[in-house]
Structure 1
Amino acid sequence: MNPALRVLVAEDEPFNLRRLTRLLREAGCEVVAELEDGPSVLAWLTRGEAVDALFLDIQMPGLTGLDVSADLPRPFPVVFVTAYAEHAVRAFEQAATDYLLKPVTAERLAATLQRLRTRTDARTDVRSETGGGHEAVPRPAGPFRFPVRAGEGVVLVDLARTTHFLFEEDAVWAFAGERLRTTWKTLAEAESALGARVVRGHRHLLIRPEAIVGLRAGDSGRLRVRLSGGAELEVSRGAAPGLKARLGLG
């Protein structure tokens, strides 16, 4: 029997919050948190507790569900819940797993949960095949090189030369004095390979902590970090506490 999906629900209307959490529990889910605004979601996620999916209302005080999705400290499957169908396009632009219209029905929710379980099972299979779990992050140890594309083949680049990695244009790019296209197809794949040698800056950014030479407060809880070589990048609200803790500033 598969373990229950652990889900976080964020909804600012008490009636809708009670209804959705009841439907989720009746469908066999474990509701690990019931929150009422966007900042509370990001604060809860920075604690690092286990959760398989986020059910986010789009219209919430403080930060909308779309704002929260853009500032997640690491990738999570997100299901947006709202009364307004016109938000669907923006929801899927942010790679939402699904989109539920209020009032949510048990039948429609069942289809969403099946999609989430399929994704969760796929991640579990990958971890099993590699002999480890999500928590088994490799420790930094000695020189590390990674592959980047070069014509018909690849070359290996020292991580020590690299300041950060960015996912854009459907590829993971390394910045090592120049912009280099790596062989990784997703940022999650890069993060898995690099492990504790990098830290999340936002959903599309990994930073090598040793490359950070300065930081300052940005807007609305974000950080601005300056890297060796002069680049300045923005770190999301959700990722800022983890990065500061990694630098011994938490």
Structure 2
Amino acid sequence: MAESLRVAVAEDEPFNLKRLVRLLREQGCDVVAQLEDGTSVAEWVQAGGAADALFLDIQMPGLSGLDLLAELGTSVPVVLVTAYAEHALKAFEHAAVDYLLKPVAEERLAVTLQRLRAGRSGGRGPVPGRAFRFPVRAGDGLVMLDLAKTTHLEFRDGAVWAHPGGPWRTLWKTLAEAEQALEGRGLVKGHRHLLLRPEAVVGVRNLDSGRLQVNLAGGAVVEVSRGAAPELKARLGIP
């Protein structure tokens, strides 16, 4: 039997609140609080509200879900829930545990609960090596990529592309945005258009002028600039 989770739900639309509470209970969760606006959430947290997770609607009267996630500093893991896919990037920039689109599907909710149970002993801040996913475009929608399976990210053609074996267009418009969103997750800057995951490096060769040729898992070969080479070598334990 799946481990029970104590969860709170914040949703200003009564039908959506009732439905999500029902789905959570059907999947073995104990719903300890039902909150109808941002002010209620803030008061609940400040009063010492405790739960294994807070399912938080983004668009609510008063404080929005993103406002709360950025400002409250709560240690409660947050799952953002909204009807708007364009909020996905902001959700992960603010270290939300997950991001659910309305109407929430039972199968997708089950995945979120599995992730919450797996990470129950930890907080929600960035931790290198912990499972972390980010959204990328797929046709008219979005899919979630696992950072641990991503070898590198590069900026080209006006967008940041992720490479977990093939290029996927992320929602980040500049490499600086990607760096900010992924801060603390162990990536190294290869040059002004490249971020590398050191764990994906399978080979290194010195080039002229202090540059490096780097072979990555999956077969990609990239160059690292002279200025960035010392940090990458240090991370790899190369003298």
TM-score, normalising length: structure 1 = 0.48
Q: Which has the bigger relative contact order, CA under 8 A and spacing at least 6?
A: 1
TM-score of the pair, normalised by structure 2: 0.50
